[in-house]
Amino acid sequence: MIETTRLQLAPLTESDWPLFLQLHQLPEVTKLCFDPPSELEVRAKFTERLIPWQPDSETPLCLTIRDKQSGELLGVTGFTCSLRTQAEVGYLLLPVSHGKGYATECLQAVIDWAWQQHGIANYTAVVTEGNIGSMRVLEKCGFKTGPVVPNAYQIGGKSYADHHFILSLGERR
Protein backbone atom coordinates (compact mmCIF):
# COMPACT_ATOMS: atom_id res chain seq x y z
CA MET A 1 0.00 0.00 0.00
CA ILE A 2 1.14 3.55 -0.78
CA GLU A 3 0.07 6.38 1.52
CA THR A 4 0.09 10.13 1.16
CA THR A 5 -1.11 12.82 3.52
CA ARG A 6 -4.73 12.34 2.45
CA LEU A 7 -4.83 9.14 0.41
CA GLN A 8 -4.29 5.38 0.52
CA LEU A 9 -3.46 3.56 -2.70
CA ALA A 10 -3.97 -0.19 -2.75
CA PRO A 11 -4.06 -2.90 -5.43
CA LEU A 12 -7.39 -3.38 -7.18
CA THR A 13 -9.49 -6.26 -5.81
CA GLU A 14 -12.64 -8.01 -7.00
CA SER A 15 -14.70 -5.91 -4.56
CA ASP A 16 -13.67 -2.77 -6.48
CA TRP A 17 -15.73 -3.77 -9.54
CA PRO A 18 -18.56 -1.24 -8.88
CA LEU A 19 -16.05 1.64 -8.72
CA PHE A 20 -14.19 0.48 -11.83
CA LEU A 21 -17.43 0.12 -13.81
CA GLN A 22 -18.66 3.53 -12.67
CA LEU A 23 -15.38 5.20 -13.70
CA HIS A 24 -15.77 3.76 -17.20
CA GLN A 25 -19.43 4.68 -17.63
CA LEU A 26 -19.90 8.14 -16.09
CA PRO A 27 -19.96 10.79 -18.84
CA GLU A 28 -18.24 13.30 -16.51
CA VAL A 29 -15.26 10.92 -16.32
CA THR A 30 -15.15 9.58 -19.87
CA LYS A 31 -16.05 12.67 -21.95
CA LEU A 32 -12.42 13.67 -22.62
CA CYS A 33 -10.90 10.20 -22.30
CA PHE A 34 -12.78 7.65 -24.38
CA ASP A 35 -16.20 6.53 -25.57
CA PRO A 36 -17.87 4.57 -22.77
CA PRO A 37 -17.06 0.90 -23.38
CA SER A 38 -19.57 -1.91 -22.99
CA GLU A 39 -19.80 -3.61 -19.62
CA LEU A 40 -18.16 -6.67 -21.17
CA GLU A 41 -15.18 -4.56 -22.33
CA VAL A 42 -14.89 -2.95 -18.89
CA ARG A 43 -15.00 -6.40 -17.24
CA ALA A 44 -12.14 -7.62 -19.47
CA LYS A 45 -10.05 -4.55 -18.59
CA PHE A 46 -10.88 -5.02 -14.89
CA THR A 47 -9.95 -8.72 -14.93
CA GLU A 48 -6.59 -7.92 -16.55
CA ARG A 49 -5.87 -5.43 -13.77
CA LEU A 50 -6.62 -7.97 -11.04
CA ILE A 51 -3.50 -9.92 -11.99
CA PRO A 52 -0.80 -9.04 -9.44
CA TRP A 53 1.70 -6.59 -10.91
CA GLN A 54 5.33 -7.66 -11.28
CA PRO A 55 8.13 -5.29 -12.36
CA ASP A 56 9.09 -7.49 -15.33
CA SER A 57 5.55 -8.08 -16.62
CA GLU A 58 3.36 -6.17 -19.01
CA THR A 59 0.46 -6.49 -16.58
CA PRO A 60 -0.85 -3.04 -15.63
CA LEU A 61 -0.44 -1.86 -12.06
CA CYS A 62 -3.87 -0.63 -10.98
CA LEU A 63 -4.37 0.95 -7.57
CA THR A 64 -7.54 2.21 -5.98
CA ILE A 65 -7.46 5.69 -4.50
CA ARG A 66 -9.12 6.00 -1.10
CA ASP A 67 -9.60 9.03 1.15
CA LYS A 68 -7.82 8.17 4.41
CA GLN A 69 -10.19 10.19 6.57
CA SER A 70 -13.55 9.08 5.17
CA GLY A 71 -12.57 5.72 3.68
CA GLU A 72 -14.38 6.71 0.49
CA LEU A 73 -13.11 5.30 -2.83
CA LEU A 74 -12.20 8.16 -5.18
CA GLY A 75 -10.80 6.50 -8.29
CA VAL A 76 -7.94 4.46 -9.71
CA THR A 77 -4.40 5.17 -10.82
CA GLY A 78 -1.43 3.19 -12.03
CA PHE A 79 0.76 2.45 -15.00
CA THR A 80 1.79 -0.06 -17.62
CA CYS A 81 5.46 -0.78 -18.20
CA SER A 82 6.58 -1.04 -21.80
CA LEU A 83 10.18 -1.49 -20.73
CA ARG A 84 11.61 -2.27 -17.30
CA THR A 85 12.41 1.42 -16.79
CA GLN A 86 9.54 3.10 -18.67
CA ALA A 87 5.87 3.33 -17.76
CA GLU A 88 2.77 4.99 -19.15
CA VAL A 89 0.73 6.45 -16.30
CA GLY A 90 -2.98 7.00 -16.01
CA TYR A 91 -5.74 7.84 -13.57
CA LEU A 92 -9.52 8.13 -13.44
CA LEU A 93 -11.29 9.89 -10.58
CA LEU A 94 -14.95 10.20 -9.70
CA PRO A 95 -16.42 13.66 -10.39
CA VAL A 96 -16.79 14.37 -6.65
CA SER A 97 -12.97 14.20 -6.46
CA HIS A 98 -12.23 16.59 -9.32
CA GLY A 99 -10.47 19.85 -8.53
CA LYS A 100 -9.23 18.82 -5.07
CA GLY A 101 -5.64 17.92 -5.95
CA TYR A 102 -6.17 14.17 -5.50
CA ALA A 103 -4.95 13.28 -9.00
CA THR A 104 -1.70 15.18 -8.52
CA GLU A 105 -1.18 13.73 -5.05
CA CYS A 106 -1.77 10.13 -6.07
CA LEU A 107 0.18 10.34 -9.33
CA GLN A 108 3.21 11.85 -7.58
CA ALA A 109 3.03 9.11 -4.94
CA VAL A 110 2.91 6.36 -7.59
CA ILE A 111 5.86 7.85 -9.48
CA ASP A 112 7.91 8.26 -6.28
CA TRP A 113 7.14 4.68 -5.24
CA ALA A 114 7.94 3.22 -8.67
CA TRP A 115 11.22 5.15 -8.81
CA GLN A 116 12.32 4.34 -5.25
CA GLN A 117 11.19 0.71 -5.14
CA HIS A 118 11.66 -0.41 -8.74
CA GLY A 119 13.96 2.11 -10.44
CA ILE A 120 11.36 3.08 -13.04
CA ALA A 121 12.83 6.35 -14.30
CA ASN A 122 10.88 7.30 -17.42
CA TYR A 123 7.18 8.04 -17.64
CA THR A 124 4.80 8.98 -20.41
CA ALA A 125 1.17 10.02 -20.49
CA VAL A 126 -1.28 10.78 -23.28
CA VAL A 127 -4.01 13.35 -22.77
CA THR A 128 -6.86 14.12 -25.14
CA GLU A 129 -7.08 17.65 -26.48
CA GLY A 130 -9.20 19.82 -24.19
CA ASN A 131 -8.52 17.84 -21.01
CA ILE A 132 -6.90 20.83 -19.30
CA GLY A 133 -7.26 19.34 -15.80
CA SER A 134 -5.17 16.28 -16.70
CA MET A 135 -2.59 18.41 -18.46
CA ARG A 136 -2.19 20.50 -15.29
CA VAL A 137 -1.86 17.38 -13.12
CA LEU A 138 0.98 16.11 -15.28
CA GLU A 139 2.75 19.47 -15.33
CA LYS A 140 2.52 19.70 -11.51
CA CYS A 141 4.17 16.26 -11.33
CA GLY A 142 7.06 17.46 -13.48
CA PHE A 143 6.02 16.17 -16.90
CA LYS A 144 7.07 18.15 -19.95
CA THR A 145 4.97 18.52 -23.07
CA GLY A 146 5.98 16.29 -25.93
CA PRO A 147 4.55 15.79 -29.38
CA VAL A 148 0.97 16.64 -30.26
CA VAL A 149 -0.61 14.21 -32.70
CA PRO A 150 -3.53 15.84 -34.55
CA ASN A 151 -6.71 13.85 -35.13
CA ALA A 152 -5.26 10.89 -33.23
CA TYR A 153 -8.37 9.81 -31.36
CA GLN A 154 -12.12 9.91 -31.73
CA ILE A 155 -14.63 10.38 -28.95
CA GLY A 156 -18.31 10.55 -29.80
CA GLY A 157 -17.45 10.70 -33.51
CA LYS A 158 -15.29 13.83 -33.07
CA SER A 159 -11.54 13.79 -33.74
CA TYR A 160 -9.17 15.04 -31.07
CA ALA A 161 -5.44 15.58 -30.91
CA ASP A 162 -3.39 13.52 -28.47
CA HIS A 163 -0.99 15.49 -26.27
CA HIS A 164 2.00 13.42 -25.18
CA PHE A 165 3.80 14.18 -21.91
CA ILE A 166 7.21 12.93 -20.78
CA LEU A 167 8.97 12.70 -17.41
CA SER A 168 12.51 11.41 -16.92
CA LEU A 169 13.94 10.85 -13.45
CA GLY A 170 17.20 9.31 -14.70
CA GLU A 171 19.26 12.35 -13.76
CA ARG A 172 18.36 11.77 -10.06
CA ARG A 173 20.49 8.58 -9.83
pTM across the whole model? 0.93
For domain 2-172, give the fold. Answer: Aminopeptidase (3.40.630)
Per-residue pLDDT, 88: 95
Q: How confident is the model at residue 171 (pLDDT cuts 50, 70, 90)?
A: low
Q: How confident is the model at residue 56 (pLDDT cuts 50, 70, 90)?
A: confident
Average pLDDT (104-128) is 95
pLDDT single digits (tens) 85-100: 789 999 999 999 999 9
Residue 172 in this model has a pLDDT that exceeds 50: no
Pairing mode of beta strands 158-168, 122-128:
antiparallel
Distance CA 110, CA 89 (A): 9
